[in-house]
Each structure stands twice: as structure tokens, then as C-alpha cells.
């Protein structure tokens, strides 16, 4: 039976997912960041984008993105709340044109986690704590995801994406995973 849901997440439903070509091949974890409108935190605009209900008239930027069909498996809000939009066994549409170690179409074999934030704004302690807990849970169910197979969006879409960005503390995050500690 597939592992689909993180028990501590608030379950939301995105229509933007489909079947993976091989659900036993989940072997990559991709960390992203997102804020809507850009640089603003809080509100329900990320949820609206991931559920296909974003009002393009609410903000000028939304006219550029309201038509997109995108999702991630989970979003971690600034206060550490985890929202899950797509079951882990399904293919979320988060990576776009991407490749890792010579293999393209990362959505086929990756789990995507969005942190509410920007490339340059520090992420919160609550986000790191939730990210570490979520990561430990994912790793316990998907052993093919190793420390070396946890990457940023920028690592799989080089030159096209920059997230999670310079403000993301990879050292702190990786230590919390490798030591089995939640910081």
C-alpha cells in the first residue's frame, strides 16, 4: 500500500497531478520556495494557485500565472504549518523542465516541497522544524531518497530556477536530517 499522506499535514486537494509512471521509483526530494504575491507572506493565494482558483484580478502579477497548472506535494507556511496538496504516490507538477544526474522529468520520481518564502528572505525556525520532521517521515517511507538526493529546484532546473535561494540554510537542514535531530 503506498504511503500517501503526512499525518501532521492539513489536507488540501489540488487537481494538478496525475499518475507516476512507476510509483516505486520515488527517489528525489526537491525543495522550492514560493510567495504570492511575490515577496508577500500569508493569505490564501498559494492555495488558490494550487487548486486552480487564483483570481487574476486580485493582483497584477496573477494575470501572468492564473492559467498555470502547478502543484507541490506539500507547502510549509511561515508558522510551520504543513499543507499537503498531492498524495506522495502521485506525480505533482512542481519541477517543470528538469533533470537530475542525467535523468529528465523529475516530477516522475520526485516529491516537491514548497517553503513559503523568497530566495533572499530568511526562512523561519518553525519552517526548518517542520521541514526536518516532514523529511524524516518521507525518508522513512522512501529509502531511495538519500541525503544526496535532496536538492533545490535550482539544482534540477539550472539557469531557469533559483529556489530555494541564498537565504535557505542547507547546512542547518542537512545536519538536522543526517543527525536525526529536529532543529
DSSP states of the chain: ------TTSEE---S-EEE-S-GGG--EEEEEEE-SSTT--SSSHHHHHHHT---TTSSTTHHHHTT-----SEEE-TTS-EEE-S-TTEEES-S-S-EETTEE-GGGTEEEEEEES-SSSPPPHHHHHHHHHHHHHHHHH-TT--GGGEEEHHHHSTTT--TT-TTS-HHHHHHHHHTT---
- Cα–Cα distances in angstroms (integers) from residue 171 to residues 123, 145, 147, in the given order: 13, 18, 12
Which of 19, 56, 114, 166 is labelled catalytic? 114
Asked if 56 is an active-site residue, the reply is no
Asked if 28 and 73 touch (Cβ cutoff 8 Å), the reply is no
Report, as residue numbers or ranges, the catalytic residues.
Answer: 114
Amino acid at each position: 500500500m503506498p504511503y500517501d499522506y503526512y499525518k501532521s499535514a492539513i489536507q488540501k486537494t489540488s487537481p494538478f497531478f496525475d499518475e507516476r509512471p512507476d510509483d516505486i521509483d520515488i527517489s528525489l526530494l526537491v525543495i522550492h520556495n514560493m510567495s504570492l504575491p511575490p515577496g508577500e507572506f500569508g493569505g490564501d493565494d498559494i492555495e488558490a494557485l494550487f487548486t486552480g482558483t487564483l483570481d487574476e484580478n486580485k493582483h497584477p502579477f496573477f494575470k501572468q500565472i492564473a492559467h498555470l497548472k502547478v502543484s507541490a506535494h506539500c507547502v510549509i507556511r511561515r508558522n510551520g504549518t504543513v499543507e499537503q496538496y498531492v498524495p506522495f504516490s502521485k506525480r505533482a507538477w512542481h519541477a517543470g523542465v528538469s533533470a537530475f544526474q542525467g535523468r529528465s522529468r523529475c516530477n516522475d520520481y520526485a516529491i516537491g516541497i514548497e517553503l513559503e518564502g523568497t530566495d533572499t528572505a530568511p526562512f523561519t525556525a518553525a519552517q526548518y522544524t517542520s521541514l526536518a520532521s516532514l523529511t524524516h517521515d518521507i525518508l522513512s517511507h522512501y529509502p531511495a531518497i538519500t541525503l544526496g538526493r535532496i536538492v533545490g529546484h535550482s539544482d534540477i532546473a539550472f539557469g531557469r530556477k533559483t529556489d530555494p535561494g541564498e537565504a535557505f540554510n542547507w547546512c542547518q537542514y542537512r545536519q538536522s536530517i543526517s543527525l536525526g535531530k529536529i532543529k
